[in-house]
Structure 1
Amino acid sequence: MKQAYHTGVFGRRRELPTVIIARGEHIRYFKVRPWMIALAGSAAAAFLLVTLAAATYLTLHEDIVSAALVRQARLERAYEERIAALRAQLDRVTSRQLLEQQLMQRKMAELVERQEQLTRQQSRLSPVLERAGELRADEQTIPVPSPRPEIRAGLTSEKFGLPTVASAYSQPEEKAQVPWPLRPGYGESGTAEETEEQVLSAIDRSLDDLEADQLARIGSLTETAYQTTEAISAALDAAGIPIAEDYGVEPAGGPLLAAVGALLPFEEKVRELDEALDRLEKIKQTARRIPIANPLPGAAVTSSFGIRSDPIIGRPAHHSGLDFRAEYGAPVRATGSGTVIKAGWNGGYGRMVEIDHGNGITTRYAHLSKIMVQVGAHVEKGGIVGRVGSSGRSTGPHLHYEVRRNGRAVNPLTFISAGRRIQKYL
């Protein structure tokens, strides 16, 4: 069935499209009106536009997102590369600082070890210096290192608070006064590393000076010991007293030169000083036993050794000693250490004391008024053995003094003269 309708065009009637839907015996139909067609077309157009817009948006959005992701990836990669570069630079700086710190610690350890070595050397020197105490005072000053400091980190250059490393004998204005600890803070000029290097270099130079001066002083002491030994030996030789036999060795000598693989220079020098002091002490002991002193210091000699006119008979006679004029009762002193072998009356000698000094040397003290020692007693040089008198064959108070070697009288004046020359060394 069709339904006619009028159009507004030329007065003609057009029929509406009819849609028939048949399903089995059921038949349905409806009219498709123009507005429905317009609505459906509008909806289709709108859907098409929406679909195109969506497709366009999705396409453009994907490109935008991809570009953003690429840009973000580039930024992340650049950031990571920057971080890696900074980290590598930090590692290099840290490694350099660690190396510098290790180097500084190694240098400090070496300096502390050197200072400890100097302290040990001073301990090694102490007993030798005690033996050398009788040498000249200006020759016994040996540099002593300051105590080892406790090295602590984090101290500034103005808070040292520890002793300086300097020579004990040096002038303060001439020697560098280097304070501990070894790691000061930043100075006004230069970096901390430069300041530390300067401090370490100054300490190293100070320790070098200290060690060099220590060796020089040891060498000076050794030379003094040799010279003193030579002076005493020469004086005794001039008196006809050989002393090589007292050492118990054949005559030999020569400078002490360090052998390859032998002791360190310091040990060699200390050893040489020790040997020189041994020789000096032995010769001093020998000189103290030998009668080289004056039995009556300050007394005048009235009769010398040798041929003279005898005061009693008035004829030439051999005088076996020296006569010293002195007041009655003046003390008579031993001219060397030894053992009393005679103490009593001995003919023309009157009251006499005879002392054995070893090596075949004896001394006699005659015409005494009083004897102060007994046979077998040990007397030291300068000890009183009796009093001046005029006992025996004598014309007045005086001391008759003899020196005998292997029982034969020798001139006592040569011994006394030798004693005067070496008195300052004993």
Structure 2
Amino acid sequence: MTLPDHTDHPRAPALAVTGILARRSFAIRRSTALLGLTLLGLTTAWSGATTWYILRKDDLAARLISRETSRQYAYEDRIAALRADIDRLASRALLDQDGVEARVDEIAMRQAELESKQALVNAVTETLKANGIGVSQAVKSASGPRLIRPEASVRASGVSSYAPLGPAKPTPAPDMPALRGAEERNGDGWQSGELAEPVSPAKRVAEALAQLDQAMDKSGSAQLGLLRHIDRSLGETQKTLRSALSETGLDTDRLATGSSIAKGVGGPFVPIKIDPAAGPFEATLHSLQPRIAAVSRLRELASQLPLRRPIQGDFDMSSNFGYRVDPFTRGPAMHTGIDFRAETGSPIRATAPGKVVTAEYSGGYGNMVEVEHAGGISTRYAHMSAILVSVGQSVVPGTVVGRVGSTGRSTGPHLHYETRIEGDAIDPIRFLKAGDKLAGQL
């Protein structure tokens, strides 16, 4: 478009200047608008970014709050569950503790019963030892089974108390699961194989009490077995004593009833009541008492009879008891004893305990010693070369009463030995045979 030429117009310079300013103003307004638009865009972008950041931050905070809230709830639920477990374990521990205490009380009662029974067993064995009754060496040396205290066994389990020690501070579950097998290896290093499962305190105490039960059962069985063994041994001893004493032809029951009681014992009589229906131990002990008394009486009787040999070692019996040809008259005669050939001076020993009633030269007996024993029994030792005891002297089996000789009516050195009951001569060989059967028990 072509503008009219206003140069010739009187106001032409002014109009030109105005046009120039108008164009410049238009140019300024355009740049300013662009700048403003640019600033407006930046401001809008900044506002949007800020708004987006704030909104994003609030959502993250909400997530964090929600997560922490969930974790807190889980933590509280875990605490509640642990408290419930602790209460349950505490109740179970108290019940277990009551059960253990009841078991310990029961075992303590059994322990006291075993100790009382052991005292009876010890009394029986001590009685047998004191009386020298021939029982087996196992019974003679028996001291009874070893008894165990229940408290010691519980302490030996390594548990002083298995009641809970109070609620431990729980920890929340970790956010990330642990590696597989980390629990087994934690603190134990690398090991081959599987680790043994730990034993709970209650189980250890239960095992200790079970072992104690077994030990007490074993002790009770040992006590009963010992009594039964004593009973069998006493039965054999009683049978041997009766068989041996029957060789003498004496009324052993009458003599045993009247036999003397061992000296040096006594005290008030305090009877012990034993109920045989209470159990096998009591029944065995009840049946054992009369057998012990019978064996003691027979043993005492055997110790009072002249069952030992008057001459120790090897000897030669040159003449028996009974009818024989008299060495001097060559006619029939009654020999009231037995003759033991021995060297002059050989010791002659008493065959039973007693008191010397004669110790002198006595006619055809020569030097003779007579010893009076229990039950109206006496022994005579004749033809001695020397008398070594005196009248009234007490002798025991084995006491040397004189020495072998050939005094009196004798053809050579020997011992003439007699056994008499109420003054009547009986065959001494019967007593010597009984003594041979009881060898080692007298």
| TM-score bracket relative to the smaller structure | 0.5 to 0.7
Separation in structure 2 between the aligned mates of residue 263 and residue 341 of structure 1, nearest angstrom: 54
Distance change (3 Å), C-alpha of 1:281 and 1:321:
same
- The corresponding residue for 1:35 is none
- The corresponding residue for 2:371 is 355
- The corresponding residue for 1:284 is 299
**Residue 124 (structure 1) aligned with residue 140 (structure 2):** no
Cα-to-partner distance string for 1:266-297 (whole Å, 9 max, x where unaligned): 45544544543333222222111111111112
Separation in structure 2 between the aligned mates of residue 104 and residue 122 of structure 1, nearest angstrom: 26
- The corresponding residue for 1:212 is 221
Separation in structure 2 between the aligned mates of residue 342 and residue 423 of structure 1, nearest angstrom: 29
Q: 1:217, CA displacement in angstroms? A: 0.7
- The corresponding residue for 2:102 is 106
Gaps of 5+ in 2: 1-73, 161-195, 259-272
1:133-282 correspondence to structure 2 within 5 Å: 133=129, 135-140=135-140, 141-146=142-147, 148=149, 150-151=151-152, 157=158, 188=197, 190-248=199-257, 265-282=280-297
Judge conservation of contact 2:159–2:204 (CA < 8 Å) in 1: no
- SS state at 1:403 partner: strand
- The corresponding residue for 1:3 is none
**Residue 366 (structure 1) aligned with residue 362 (structure 2):** no
Judge conservation of contact 1:356–1:362 (CA < 8 Å) in 2: yes
Distance change (3 Å), C-alpha of 1:124 and 1:261:
closer
How much is the aligned-residue C-alpha RMSD, in angstroms? 3.4
TM-score (norm 2): 0.64
Separation in structure 1 between the aligned mates of residue 148 and residue 78 of structure 2, nearest angstrom: 52
TM-score (norm 1): 0.66
- The corresponding residue for 2:111 is 115
Q: 1:198, CA displacement in angstroms? A: 2.5
Higher RCO structure, 1 or 2 (CA under 8 Å, sep 6+): 2
Q: State the number of aligned residues.
A: 317
1:300-319 correspondence to structure 2 within 5 Å: 300-319=316-335
Separation in structure 1 between the aligned mates of residue 153 and residue 308 of structure 2, nearest angstrom: 62
Separation in structure 2 between the aligned mates of residue 232 and residue 135 of structure 1, nearest angstrom: 12
Separation in structure 1 between the aligned mates of residue 385 and residue 334 of structure 2, nearest angstrom: 24
User: Which of 305-314 and 116-125 deviates more?
Assistant: 116-125
Judge conservation of contact 2:121–2:144 (CA < 8 Å) in 1: no
Cα-to-partner distance string for 1:83-106 (whole Å, 9 max, x where unaligned): 888766644432221011111122
Structure with more of its chain in helix, by fraction: 2
Judge conservation of contact 2:307–2:431 (CA < 8 Å) in 1: yes
Separation in structure 2 between the aligned mates of residue 399 and residue 143 of structure 1, nearest angstrom: 49
Distance change (3 Å), C-alpha of 1:412 and 1:380:
same
Judge conservation of contact 1:115–1:145 (CA < 8 Å) in 2: no
- The corresponding residue for 2:427 is 411
Separation in structure 1 between the aligned mates of residue 155 and residue 424 of structure 2, nearest angstrom: 82
Judge conservation of contact 1:338–1:356 (CA < 8 Å) in 2: yes
The percent identity for this pair of structures is 36
Aligned letter for 1:300? Answer: D
Separation in structure 2 between the aligned mates of residue 323 and residue 380 of structure 1, nearest angstrom: 22
- The corresponding residue for 2:436 is 420
Aligned letter for 1:301? Answer: M
Gaps of 5+ in 1: 1-77, 160-186, 250-257
Aligned letter for 1:238? Answer: E
Aligned letter for 2:375? Answer: N
Distance change (3 Å), C-alpha of 1:370 and 1:248:
same
Q: 1:130, CA displacement in angstroms? A: 2.0
Separation in structure 2 between the aligned mates of residue 156 and residue 91 of structure 1, nearest angstrom: 25
Q: 1:405, CA displacement in angstroms? A: 1.7
Structure with more of its chain in strand, by fraction: 1
Separation in structure 1 between the aligned mates of residue 342 and residue 156 of structure 2, nearest angstrom: 76
- SS state at 1:144 partner: coil
Separation in structure 2 between the aligned mates of residue 320 and residue 245 of structure 1, nearest angstrom: 25
Aligned letter for 2:106? Answer: E
Judge conservation of contact 1:309–1:316 (CA < 8 Å) in 2: yes
- SS state at 1:392 partner: coil
Judge conservation of contact 1:142–1:217 (CA < 8 Å) in 2: no
- SS state at 2:93 partner: helix
Separation in structure 2 between the aligned mates of residue 138 and residue 123 of structure 1, nearest angstrom: 18
Distance change (3 Å), C-alpha of 1:91 and 1:204:
same
Distance change (3 Å), C-alpha of 1:188 and 1:374:
farther
- SS state at 1:425 partner: coil
Q: 1:153, CA displacement in angstroms? A: 7.7
Distance change (3 Å), C-alpha of 1:155 and 1:214:
closer
Judge conservation of contact 1:301–1:325 (CA < 8 Å) in 2: yes
Distance change (3 Å), C-alpha of 1:95 and 1:401:
same
Q: 1:204, CA displacement in angstroms? A: 0.6
Separation in structure 2 between the aligned mates of residue 125 and residue 99 of structure 1, nearest angstrom: 39
Judge conservation of contact 1:307–1:316 (CA < 8 Å) in 2: yes
Aligned match for 2:308, one of 276, 288, 293: 293
Separation in structure 1 between the aligned mates of residue 276 and residue 344 of structure 2, nearest angstrom: 68
